[in-house]
Structure formats: C-alpha cells, structure tokens
Amino acid sequence: MLKQALTDRSGATAMEFGIIGVVVFTMMFAIFDLGRYAITLHSLEMLAAESARTEIICYSPALAGRPATTCSGDPLSVATKQTLFPFLYLGGLAPTVTTTTTAPRVVQASQPDFTMIMPFWPAAMNAPSVSTSLPF
C-alpha cells in the first residue's frame, strides 16, 4: 500500500502545468504589454511629427515675410488625429498635444491615461510622452 502511494503520479502533470503555466502566461502577457507600449510610443512620435509639420506650415508665411496666419493651440483637429492615429484612441483614451511658445519651440505628444497592464513595470512607463523640436 505504501509503495503504491509513493509511485502514484496522478496529480503530477497538473502540478507541473501549474508551475510552468504561470511563467509562460506571465511572459506572454508581458510581451503583449511591451508591444502595446511600443506601438503607443511610435504613434505618439508620428503624432508629434505631424503636429510639428502642421505648425511649420502654419508659421511659414510669417517666416517668409508674408502676413501671418493665426496659429494657436493644438494644430490638428480631433477628427484628423483619430483618422491618422486610431490606435491612440482605443479604450476611450485621447492623446494630448502641446507646443511651447518660447524658443526653442517644442511639440510634445502624450497619452496621459495610458497604463501598463502588468503591475511590475516601472511607473515611468505609464503615461508615455514624446517631443520634437521646431527649427524656429
């Protein structure tokens, strides 16, 4: 009877899967989370670049000595941003774009409500932000 109890492996597979499954699923969700973060950063970089291009076009008459147009606030409309960068609006999120008014002018795009899914990432990865400088 004791020998049969020592050689009974009926729960060994379930126990091994429980141990290995936690590691595998944690790694899989971490990869998904990092991919989501990378695509958000890339989309924010493209949003900042597009906003900078729009700012340059807006200010180009003033730089060429022609009458200046009024350029203020976010250079892109919400509809334009949703069309160009739909990933940034998933889950009810909305990116913000700000431009400094002093030289050197900097366009900053951020996603303030973005949070990582896995709890072990550093807090700096929440609310990603990128910026680009204007040449004037």
Instruction: Kindly state whether residue 5 falls inside one of the protein's structural domains.
Output: no
- 84-109 core/surface letters (b: 16 or more CB in 10 A; e: else): ebeebeeeeeebebebeeeeebebbb
Q: What is the mean pLDDT of the chain?
A: 85
Burial class of residue 131 in the structure, from the number of CB atoms within 10 Å of its CB (0-12 exposed, 13-18 middle, 19+ buried):
middle
Q: What percent of the chain has pLDDT over 90?
A: 49
Whole-angstrom distance, CA of residue 117 vs CA of residue 119: 6
Residue 96 predicted with pLDDT over 70: yes
Q: Does a structural domain hold residue 45? A: yes
What is the value of pTM for the model shown? 0.79
Residue 7 located in a structural domain = no
Residue 73 lies in a domain: yes
pLDDT at 1 over 70: no
127 in a structural domain: yes
The parent domain of residue 88 ranges over 12-133
The count of domains in the chain is 1
What confidence score (pLDDT) does residue 82 get?
93
Residue with tokens 């699923």: 25
Q: pLDDT by residue (tens digit) across 108-134?
A: 999 999 999 988 889 888 999 999 988
Tens-digit pLDDT profile for residues 22-62: 999 999 999 999 999 999 999 999 999 999 888 888 777 65
d(CA 28, CA 33): 9
Residues paired with 108 in a beta bridge: 98, 131
Confidence of residue 86 (pLDDT cuts 50, 70, 90): very high
Length of the chain (residues): 136
2 located within any domain: no
Indicate whether 34 belongs to any domain. Answer: yes
| Cβ 85 vs Cβ 43: under 8 Å | yes
